[in-house]
Structure 1
Amino acid sequence: MPSIRLRHCRTSYTHRTLPVLLVCLSALMLLSPASGDAAAQAAAADTRYESVRRSPDGIGKRYMGREIAGVMGWEGAQWLERESRAREERPELLLPELALAPGMTVADIGAGTGYYTWQLAKLVGPGGRVYAVDVQPEMIGMLDSQMAKRGVRNVVSVLGSETTVKLPRASVDLAIMVDVYHELAYPAEVLDSIVDALKPGGRVVFVEYRAEDPAVAIKPLHKMSERQIRREATAHGLKWERSIKSLPIQHAVVFRKP
């Protein structure tokens, strides 16, 4: 629930401000204890972030030393389905490294139009399931259309929020984020919700353009170093398992929930 700002409240009161104070108190009384707790939790969570001067590709918010990149809107969805993507990213190299098996449950976080979703769905088979999570309803609409066009029946689309993936607790064998994590406005909260959705021993895979490689022609805020990925993931109790370095311009860093 978004926080409610009482713009006319003050910290000192006179007979002139008393009517305003009463209005403010009335507004506060409308909040249930549960919503008050949620607001308090949100305020506490915000202390994990630092406001900075906004750079051209960022949102003016820093987490663990890096500025968060601006999200790609649904208007740019065509870029996700560009013809050159398979050649640039080589999904045929990444997917076998995930060691997926029929019957598994996978979460494609920030699934967009479903470029990887349908490929994951094939690997887990009819007895498996892929949760395709995105925060933009327009992306979800395009993804559903793509799955219907391909005849994919084991994908469940989920409209998440900026702070949670909205998946059942301990339901997922593997969660994957492809070129997504660096754009999360609330990475700490989202990662907490992903960890909560993982089964014990479940894995999280971060796929990001390599910040260590200046030859990767991607804007700096849309790349992440392995060191930064490991720093942020381990802060949430995840254990580094291995790093996949066979991709042309990305790395995939794999973590496991203890």
Structure 2
Amino acid sequence: MAFYDALLPRRMKKDLTIIPVVRLQGTIMTGGSQFRPALNLASVAGSLDKAFSMKRSPAVAIIVNSPGGSPVQSRLIFKRIRDLAEEKQKRVHIFVEDVAASGGYMIALAGDEIIADPSSIVGSIGVVSASFGFPELLKKIGVERRVYTAGQSKVSLDPFQPEKETDVEHLKSLQRDVHATFIDLVKARRQGKLAADDDTLFNGLFWSGVKGRELGLVDELGDMHGFLKARYGEKMRTRLIAPRRGLFGGRIPASIGSDDFAQTIAASATQGVADALENKAIWGRYGL
């Protein structure tokens, strides 16, 4: 559609309403790889800035498809969207695809309206930490764990040492703080729309788009093009704002040798398998 619009005379373009679209997809985290692209402020800031800088556009459409991740990166993306919306005086329409859960839903809160598919997954307003413990395994294989610290809590929650009740309580205290921040954000952004009590909304459960609408977590059910056509008329056009990416999500240094190149590819492939498995586990929690 954008190609044909480019061929139109300038006078005809004036009748069009262009809505820039930014896609935010993936697990929210710092770093990342070509096998598991990271969704974080650094990876989306350029696309957001470009979308909100389109002067003639009355709004920005943002597609969210994320099972969550880093609460810090989630809030940073949320804040950048709201800051740009206020600075550029534009409405923000958030469209949920498969899932906007946990940190993904936190990002969705940046929308003036949240539109989901009836089968989308929304919510999961909670905080989770997970790990494994290996102290008994070390005993069985005859390995002695040696750790030297300055500070008695420096090895808190070390997976190779027996779990301590004080360490667990400290972690839960941190989780309660992060959860409270999340809850406050939901209440501020969905003020007057929430249709259930705190115990129902903020216990970490997730729901379909249909149930999310009943609970007040979603404004409407539908799809992006249908919603935007109804809102801005038949002369509305969307324009995808995509980040620039090179081969494997980046550039290979010009000075790299053939042996180094092979080792780099092998290492990337090995790490990619681990990333792919972890990524599958995160999405799998929501049946995806």
Provide the TM-score with structure 2 as the length reference.
0.26
Which structure has greater strand proportion? 1
Larger fraction in helix: 2
Larger Rg: 2
Normalization by structure 1: what TM-score? Answer: 0.29
